[in-house]
Amino acid sequence: MVKEKDTRFAVLCILPAFIGVGLVVLAPILKAIWMSFTDYKLTSVKAPEWNGFANYRSLFSSGEAGAYFAVTLMFIFLVVSVQFLIALAVALLLNARFIKGRNVMRALFMIPWTIPSVVTALLWSWMLHSQYGVFNWILYHMGLIDNINLVWTSSNTLALPSVVLACVWRQTPYMMVMLLAGLQSVPYDLMEAARVDGAGSWHTFAHILLPSIRPVIDTSIMVAIINNSQMFTIIYNMTGGGPMGRTTTFSVGAYLEAFISYDFGKGSALGVVWLVFLGVFVFLYRRYSDKKTSSYM
């Protein structure tokens, strides 16, 4: 593959995107990085003072950073893996040749994606309410739970699953659309050929279907991971980060530091820690994915 080494033109092409990004977020992020080394308080009238790594030290020594890491990774892992498995199943079935009304079914699956997160949060905390939520009523009368007043969003064990459930519900449509599109691009002949060769359906799936939609899977999962690391609206409105920090992810933690403790220094430090962590992750992913892509071509 020949690529033109016309850097000037390329720069002109990508410039608008970077101007937009630079205008809106670059300066604020640089400022936030600076704030993370100061004692900037929202409720203080004095000028912020440089305090070196004090914010970082306090985050790590108090164990907050570790706790946020654990919750965030768990949250992202659960949301992304569950939505991926469901979406893959749905996409595989919808991809079956004989399926009629595929467009309508796909559109039906997509409805949750159109419900704003604010509404999603209220809807799910209402449906999961311990006293008058419809889920407890259904589960109890199906004999699946013993306690009709099962507490979800304020429970040690169930709070995280509750927010995961709401997020999965809203995000699976996105994943499903991407995977289905990938699957539909796999030539039917390829599958037929495999079948003629006597390959079983598991073999076709694992060795032909899956590898050929691999790039779609990679990109979609990457996007889902990044989006969920920013997830705030659903978590905060459902649990407020509780109980006892069980659902406090990095983005919720940064909010609590910034707007409950008014400590922008610490809030920014949290942001920087997460930025570095995910930045390395994305960079490595790009390298890996580039290698993959070039091996395709």
Contacts of other proteins in 97-136 (CB under 8 A): 98-99, 102-119, 122-124, 126-127, 129-132, 134
248 contacts 68 by C-beta, under 8 angstroms: yes
CB of 52 to other proteins, least distance (A): 19
* Residues within window 195-254 making contact with other proteins, judged by CB under 8 A: 212-216, 218-219, 222-223, 226-227, 229-230, 232-233, 239-245, 250-251, 254
The window from 49-57, 73-81, 172-180, 192-200 that contacts other proteins (CB under 8 A) reads 172-180
CB of 229 to other proteins, least distance (A): 5
Asked if 264 is part of the footprint of other proteins (rule: CB under 8 A), the reply reads yes
* Residues within window 12-31 making contact with other proteins, judged by CB under 8 A: 12-14, 16-18, 20-21, 23-29, 31
140 contacts 178 by C-beta, under 8 angstroms: no
Closer residue to other proteins (CB): 81 or 130: 130
CB of 98 to other proteins, least distance (A): 6
Q: Could you tell me which of 244, 196, 234 has the C-alpha nearest to residue 63? A: 244
Q: Which of 160, 178, 194, 209 binds other proteins (CB under 8 A)?
A: 178
The 10 Å Cβ neighbour count of residue 268 is: 25
Closer residue to other proteins (CB): 161 or 243: 243
Contacts 24+ apart (CB under 8 A), 281-287: 282/222, 282/226, 285/218, 285/222
Closer residue to other proteins (CB): 53 or 185: 185
CA distance 178 to 185: 11
Q: How many residues bind other proteins (CB under 8 A)?
A: 138
CB of 30 to other proteins, least distance (A): 9
Asked if 161 is part of the footprint of other proteins (rule: CB under 8 A), the reply reads no
Q: Could you tell me which of 137, 167, 181, 138 has the C-alpha nearest to residue 239? A: 167
CB of 197 to other proteins, least distance (A): 21
φ, ψ for residue 232, nearest 5 deg:
-130, -50
- 66 contacts: CB under 8 Å, gap ≥ 6: 60
* Residues within window 56-85 making contact with other proteins, judged by CB under 8 A: none
CA distance 215 to 179: 10
CB of 212 to other proteins, least distance (A): 6
The window from 49-57, 77-85, 202-210, 282-290 that contacts other proteins (CB under 8 A) reads 282-290
φ, ψ for residue 71, nearest 5 deg:
-65, -45
Burial class (CB in 10 A: 0-12, 13-18, 19+), 290: exposed
